[in-house]
């Protein structure tokens, strides 16, 4: 264990040195500068209802993506989102400690429970694992509702604020996102990440070359659920309220959609996927009325055709991406960018 740690720390150091000299590094710096300054020119509503969720779900989708990079597709990540959200808020309220410490304790507890679920899951094949994680997210709803006296989950309760909503909270989540995603990036680039990839491609072969697959799969579980819990704590902060609906399958499937649509196994994929999905979720409801006017007469059974049509579209989008662009939309964006650059070069020369 110790030697793996030293080895991976060494490889991380090497990776950082190479990375800081690459072109990508400057691209990321520029992107970060834009993300930092952009909200200054936007309304408070857009910052707290669109940009902040985008950042929080980028952490959440990245945590899911890290787990999936080891071949483990969870269908119940909402359990950890919810545990992070509830525990961070409950600890802060019941013990009277600062909510920012509650945030860490919530993430730690989420990782601890992730460790226990991981123990069950590391021996399972992809589909059993998907079912067990999904099942866990349903059991946890029952548990939280059953012990409502303590959790207050059924009615929900307001969460104690760390900082004000709007710009301050935006920058706080941004700082958390930069730290969390950097850590996940380093893990995925290190020897641990290499082991994840080997396990994902062929578990038996990974075992044969001496990788302790159970150990690495468990590591993936712990790291992933820690950051899912952190995202949950931030999520509860961002809407200032926590309720048992956070465990809904919708929140389990969301990070999967984001990571797959953005590009599975890459670091930028979940971030781009989060930006796409949150934008769709925030802006498409505005065309619901128009949709209903256009299509309403076709489907007399529903009072508002907007939401089901959007969800249907999202499902089709996921199918199309998985079947026709299994590496997500990120390579397409890169291709378009390269094409534009090369055609711009041709024009100038």
Q: Which residues bind other proteins (CB under 8 A)?
A: 68, 71, 73, 75, 120, 123-128, 130-132, 134-136, 138-139, 142, 145-146, 200, 249, 253, 256-257, 260, 264, 299, 301-302, 305, 308-309, 311-312, 314-316, 318-319, 322-323, 326
Q: Return the number of the residue (312 or 344) whose C-beta is nearest other proteins.
A: 312
State the Cα–Cα distance between residues 180 and 110, nearest whole angstrom: 15
* Of 250 and 339, CB closest to other proteins: 250
Which tokens in the block code for residue 72?
């483990």
Minimum CB distance to other proteins, residue 326 (Å): 7
Residue 159 DSSP class: P
Crossing angle of helices 2-20 and 191-201, rounded to 10°: 100
Q: Give least dist CB 69 to other proteins, A.
A: 10
In the complex, what is the shortest distance from the CB of residue 289 to other proteins, in angstroms, rounded to a whole number?
17
Alpha helices in 96-190 (DSSP H): 99-121, 126-146, 148-151, 167-189
> Which residue's CB is nearer to other proteins, number 285 or number 308?
308
Q: How far is the CB of 261 from other proteins (least distance, A)?
A: 10
Q: Are strands 241-242 and 157-158 parallel, antiparallel or unpaired?
A: antiparallel
Supply the minimum distance, in Å, between the C-beta of residue 107 and other proteins: 23
Report phi then psi at 305, rounded to 5.
-80, -10
Nearer to other proteins, 46 or 138 (CB): 138
Q: Strand pairing partners for 59?
A: none
Cβ distance to other proteins smaller for residue 219 or 309: 309
Q: What tokens were used for 23?
A: 């072109």
Q: Which residues pair with 242 in a beta bridge?
A: 157
Nearer residue to other proteins within complex by CB, 17 or 204: 204
Rounded-to-integer distance, Cα 301 and Cα 94, Å: 47
Whole-angstrom Cα Rg for the chain: 21
Residues, the chain: 349
Min dist. Cβ of residue 230 to other proteins (A): 24
């Amino acid at each position: 264990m110790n030697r793996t740690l030293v080895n991976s720390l060494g490889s991380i150091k090497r990776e950082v040195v190479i990375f800081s000299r690459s072109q990508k590094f400057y691209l990321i710096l520029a992107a970060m500068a834009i993300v930092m300054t952009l909200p200054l020119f936007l309304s408070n509503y857009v910052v707290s209802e669109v940009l902040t969720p985008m950042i929080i779900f980028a952490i959440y989708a990245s945590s899911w993506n890290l787990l999936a990079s080891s071949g483990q597709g969870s269908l119940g990540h909402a359990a950890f989102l919810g545990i992070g959200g509830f525990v961070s808020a409950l600890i802060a309220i019941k013990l009277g400690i600062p909510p920012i410490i509650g945030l860490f304790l919530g993430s730690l507890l989420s990782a601890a429970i992730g460790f226990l679920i991981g123990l069950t899951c590391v021996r399972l094949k992809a589909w059993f694992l998907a079912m067990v994680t999904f099942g866990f997210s349903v059991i946890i709803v029952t548990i939280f509702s059953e012990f409502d006296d303590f959790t207050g989950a059924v009615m929900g309760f307001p969460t104690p604020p760390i900082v004000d909503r709007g710009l301050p909270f935006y920058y706080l989540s941004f700082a958390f996102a930069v730290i969390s995603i950097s850590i996940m990036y380093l893990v995925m680039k290190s020897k641990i990440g290499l082991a994840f990839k080997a396990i994902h491609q062929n578990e038996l072969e990974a075992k044969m070359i001496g990788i302790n697959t159970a150990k690495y799969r468990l590591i993936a579980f712990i790291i992933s659920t820690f950051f899912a819990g952190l995202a949950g704590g931030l999520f509860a902060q961002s809407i200032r309220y926590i309720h048992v609906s956070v465990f809904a399958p919708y929140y389990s499937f969301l990070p999967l959609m984001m990571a797959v649509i953005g590009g599975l196994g890459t670091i930028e994929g979940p971030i781009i996927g989060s930006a796409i999905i949150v934008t769709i979720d925030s802006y498409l409801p505005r065309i619901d009325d128009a949709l209903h006017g256009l299509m309403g007469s076709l489907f007399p059974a529903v009072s508002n055709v907007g939401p089901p049509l959007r969800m249907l579209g999202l499902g089709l989008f996921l199918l199309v991406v998985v079947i026709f662009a299994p590496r997500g939309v990120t390579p397409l964006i890169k291709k378009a960018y390269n094409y534009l650059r090369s055609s711009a070069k041709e024009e100038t020369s």
